A and B are shown apart, each in its own frame.
Chain A
Amino acid sequence: MAASGGKPPMDSWRIFPDVTPEQMRAEAERQAIRGKLRAAMQEKLRDPYAVGNFEDPALTRWYYVRNHQFDNFKQTPKTSFLGIVFGIAPIAVLTWLFWTDRRKMKEDWRKGIGRNKASIINF
């Protein structure tokens, strides 16, 4: 097969026509690494002498990162933008919205008009 040239050696049935041999080899290496990780995990899982619960260090690391994001916070333009857009602006907009609505309501009450007298939404 290798002698015929141009065709990747692992794809004898040509299922992946547009994958180069280097890509195929790299993917095979990645699958081998994953296979070793799976085998290590299965060994730990099926160990008959193990006591206690099975701990996956990758999961522990991932969990630690998820729970310590605030401790590693750094102020960047992106975080400032996010803080303003999702923290300060909604509060400011909502406050302004309620303030104007309430002021109008109270003026209507002083004038003796009921609420939403001439509007589409009439309750």
Chain B
Amino acid sequence: MYHLVLGYVGLVMSVWVCDSKVMWRVGQIGGLLLVVPALGLMNLNLFISGVSGAMTSDFMSVALTVLSIWLLPLMLVASQQHMVNEAKFYQRVFIGCQVFLTGGLVLAFLASDLLLFYIAFESTLLPTLMLITRWGAQKERYQAGTYFMFFTMVGSLPLLVCLLGQYQLSGSLALDLMFVGVSKGEYIINFWWLGCVVAFLVKLPLYGTHLWLPKAHVEAPIAGSMVLAGVLLKLGGYGMIRVSYLWGSSALVSGEVILALALWGMISMGAICLRQTDLKSLIAYSSVGHMALVVGGVMTGTAWGYNGAMILMIAHGLVSSCLFSLANSWYERGHTRNLIGSRGLIMLFPLIGFSWLISSLMNLALPPAINLFGELVAMVAVYNWSVYSVAFMSLGAVLTAGYSLYMYGMSQWGNVMKGYKNLYIITSREYLLGLLHLMPAIYLIFYLGLMF
């Protein structure tokens, strides 16, 4: 597995030194080539399987690793157009940022030690901050970067403290330990567990700590939005699965508050999405709603919960990233993200309307898309946890369907907006983006055994 991380080190170096005519291609093709070693790691056991040095690869790690590696060439392909007028040096820094970010993510997902995971987790913050604050489009990006940085850091400092305390007590932070026998039955252990989990709840995000997400997603450039929605949220989910497995039964308090926040968040984010006028903001709030169900699945502590959360994370990563790139393809032409000001797109760009349709339908968890299976499995897990949750989850699912259809209808149907001139045709680059996002998602429908 070291070869994968070394591949990213190599890719950063080659992007840095290569000729400026080929740097985008080097990043894209190199990123695509690095998918191959990742796929070679794939094994389907749920917990620790392949081990090599400081890294481990089991199903969850590799699934999310492949997702983050897959998204790198897609991010580079998506951002090629809007970076055309930048200086070559800054373009190189941009590509280097994204490659470094993906390398950090791969390190995070393949880490077998919680401290290595924490270091990689924090190291992904800086390139994302650079992407948001330097290459975002509006002046609100400074506040967005601040919110993103501080929310995540304030959440993860307790994680560091708790991890170091755990290291002192048990002498090791390897992932296959169980933190039993740490302090039997004392109440302080609940704060210990909470400290470990808060970082990931902020990252996921849980409803109460979600303020950074709409800002960061909207103000980020397309590459930033894609990696944020596609992978960085999943870091939170993955971390929660790992840490809550480690705590197991020794944490006395279980997650009633967290699940209450998650379920209410699912409903209220669904309702907020129906009132959004900004296309990217709608997709960003929908991410909060989907991740709320992931939180629910993980907090139950059951195998179905973990499986549902995993499928949901993969599905949401692909679909949300696709929606962001489609929204960006309109934004590059119309320079507006306003839902009111972008109607009738299917008449202007019919073939990419297919991508819009498929990703909107997957977003609303239509069968046989994998989003549905993730939601179903996670819902069953949360229902098993408490019977009364089903009312809130079903309301949340209905609202999810509502706003997904609303977004598709408002953007695609209706009278074509006549105030836009020079709308150039959808390039094959953008068709490729849609295809590469949706092809794994559709493939996974037929091979869901990959997930179970």
Residues on A lying within 8 angstroms of B by beta carbon are: 45, 50-56, 59, 63, 66-67, 86, 90-91, 94-95, 97-99, 101-102, 105, 116, 121
Q: Which residue of B lies closest to A66 (CB)?
A: B277
Complex Cα–Cα for A90 and B388 (A): 13
Is the pair A121, B264 in contact by a Cβ cutoff of 8 Å? no
The 10 closest A-B pairs by CB, nearest first: A54-B419, A94-B260, A95-B260, A98-B256, A90-B264, A101-B386, A53-B420, A99-B256, A98-B386, A95-B256
- List of A residues within 8 angstroms of B338 by Cβ: 59, 63
Interface contact A102-B418, CB-CB below 8 Å: no
**A10-B278 Cα distance, complex, nearest whole Å:** 43
Residue B249 is within 8 A (CB to CB) of chain A in the complex:
no
**Can you add 18 more A-B contacts, CB < 8 Å, to A53-B336, A86-B268?**
A45-B418, A52-B421, A54-B419, A59-B340, A59-B341, A63-B340, A66-B278, A90-B264, A91-B208, A91-B260, A94-B260, A95-B256, A97-B260, A97-B386, A98-B256, A98-B386, A101-B387, A105-B386
Q: Which residue of B lies closest to A90 (CB)?
A: B264
Q: Are A101 and B388 in contact (CB under 8 A)?
A: yes
B260, A98: Cβ atoms closer than 8 Å: yes
Assess whether A98 is in contact with B388, with CB atoms less than 8 Å apart.
Answer: yes
Task: Choose one: A55, A66, A102; the contact of B386 (CB below 8 Å).
Answer: A102
The interface size of chain B toward A, counting residues with CB under 8 Å, comes to 30
Q: Which residues of A contact B388 (CB under 8 A)?
A: 97-98, 101
Q: Shortest CB–CB separation between residue B87 and chain A, in angstroms? A: 23
Residues in A neighbouring B334, C-beta threshold 8 A: 53
Chain B residues lying within 8 Å of A55, measured Cβ to Cβ, are: 419
CB-based contact A52/B260 at 8 Å: no
Chain B interface residues toward A at CB < 8 A: 208, 254, 256-257, 259-261, 263-264, 268, 277-278, 281, 334-336, 338, 340-341, 385-389, 392, 418-422
- CB atoms of B421 and A51 under 8 A apart: yes
List chain B residues, Cβ under 8 A from A51.
421-422
Summarize A's interface: helix, strand, loop or mixed.
Answer: helix
Measured in the bound complex, the distance between the Cα atoms of B390 and A116 in whole Å is: 15
Residues of B within 8 A of A98 (CB): 256, 259-260, 386, 388-389
Q: CB distance A50 to B421 under 8 Å?
A: yes
A54:B340 contact, CB within 8 angstroms: no
Task: Flag if A53 contacts B335 (CB, 8 Å).
Answer: yes
For B268, the chain A residues whose CB sits under 8 A away are 86
7 A-B residue pairs with CB within 8 Å:
A56-B419, A59-B340, A86-B268, A91-B261, A95-B260, A97-B388, A121-B387
Q: Are A54 and B421 in contact (CB under 8 A)?
A: yes
Q: Are B278 and A94 in contact (CB under 8 A)?
A: no
Contacting pair A52 B422 (CB below 8 A): yes
Chain A's closest residue to B339 (CB) is A63
Count chain A CB atoms within 10 A of each CB in B257, B268, B277, B419 and give the residue with the most: B419
Residues of chain A contacted by B277 (CB below 8 angstroms)? 63, 66-67
What are the residues of chain B within 8 A of A54 when measuring CB–CB? 419-421
Q: Is B256 a contact of A45 with CB atoms below 8 Å?
A: no
B263-A45 in contact (CB<8A): no
Chain B's nearest CB lies how many Å from the CB of A17?
Answer: 36
Least Cβ–Cβ distance between B137 and chain A, in angstroms? 13
Which residue in chain A gives the minimum CB-CB distance to B211?
Answer: A70
- By beta carbon, the residue of chain A nearest B255 is A98
The docked-state distance in angstroms from the alpha carbon of A55 to that of B336 is: 10
- Across the interface, name the chain A residue whose C-beta is closest to B207: A91
Nearest CB of A to B382, in Å: 10
Q: Which residues of B contact A102 (CB under 8 A)?
A: 254, 256, 385-386
In the complex the two chains form, what is the Cα distance from A18 to B71 in whole Å? Answer: 66
Of chain A, the residue at the smallest CB distance from B256 is: A98
Residues in chain A near residue B341, CB distance under 8 A: 56, 59
Q: In the complex, which residues of chain B have a beta carbon less than 8 angstroms from the beta carbon of A52?
A: 421-422
| Residues on the B chain within 8 Å of A53, using CB | 334-336, 419-422
Q: A66-B277, A102-B256 in contact; A94/B392 too (CB < 8 A)?
A: yes
- Residues of B contacting A101 in the complex (Cβ-Cβ under 8 angstroms): 386-388
